[in-house]
Structure 1
């Protein structure tokens, strides 16, 4: 129910210089060069159309379950998003920052990724709809979105997080282990009825115990 893969971090400007740099513990992605600022935050009502467009791109390719506008509105509080605020030539830029409606420099922000944490049962949550715009994959954005979901699960005292994925290796980098789908409760399959591959699911189940 996700779509994302990445290796390392590349920070690119639109029509400017390019700098390749690994993310550090403080989330610094650029210093003293023209770069972009990526911010992670909870989704807002104004993000729904962007989320729908992002998920539709991957669902049409058969890489994740489709999500209707109505479904996104209903579950909006489950989502974290990644957005590019603006190009900047100022000092250090922090991956996690405060959200402002038009970005810190007054330009329109752009949603480039999303991920949802859905609470399934007393001590079980699912990471759903992990997607990053194709030009921005392999830049650690998906990994950081997963970290946000894990933090939220810890807040709710949930110690088991699973996902259904075509890329188990990606989740294994964040500590997930491959499990048999039979280990998951039957109620999770209710969302799969809308999948074109139901009931022959070809995704891999992964689980993280925290």
Structure 2
């Protein structure tokens, strides 16, 4: 079941995200950052436990980012990531976004959901503020993708 995240989900979300961050497959998120941005997140719940999470973060009047997509390793390859991204895309449409972008090491997954690879310079400059916390900055090797929102 997909639902908006609640504060009591944060510790589980951090654990799932940290699993990937430890492998340098995504940016680590602190408890503070997760609590501050809890309204951005969706979780996929299985038997009362968080099996995955994903956030839609609004950057400007017409552009948002899908970030922090992470699935518990016990639940990968079951379509949970796809459902979480679709929930974020639906919210982007409701909010009136014109496009949604993401930075990822798994571009094929996002391409299967209608995203297209673009040059990072096409992304809003505000994106790079978050990059300052990344251990790979300024040598980012993530792939940037954008998807238009059709209403």
In the superposition, the TM-score normalised over structure 1's length comes to 0.70
- The SS at the match of 1:163 is strand
For residues 138-166 of structure 1, the C-alpha deviation after alignment (integer angstroms, 9 at most, x for no partner) is 11100000000001001111020000000
How many residues are treated as equivalent by the alignment?
149
- The SS at the match of 2:126 is helix
RMSD: 0.7
The CA deviation at 1:200 is 0.6
CA distance in 2, matches of 1:53, 1:137: 15
Q: How does 1:1-210 map to 2 (within 5 A)?
A: 39-85=1-47, 109-210=48-149
- The SS at the match of 1:126 is strand
For residues 43-72 of structure 1, the C-alpha deviation after alignment (integer angstroms, 9 at most, x for no partner) is 001101111111111111101001000000
In the superposition, the TM-score normalised over structure 2's length comes to 0.97
- The SS at the match of 2:91 is helix
Radius of gyration: which is bigger?
A: 1
Unaligned runs of 5+ in 1: 1-38, 86-108
CA distance in 2, matches of 1:133, 1:54: 6
The structure with higher relative contact order (CA 8 Å, sep 6+) is: 1
CA distance in 2, matches of 1:175, 1:169: 10
Deviates more, 1:133-142 or 1:110-119: 133-142
CA distance in 1, matches of 2:124, 2:93: 21
Structure 1 segments (4+ residues) deviating >3 Å: none
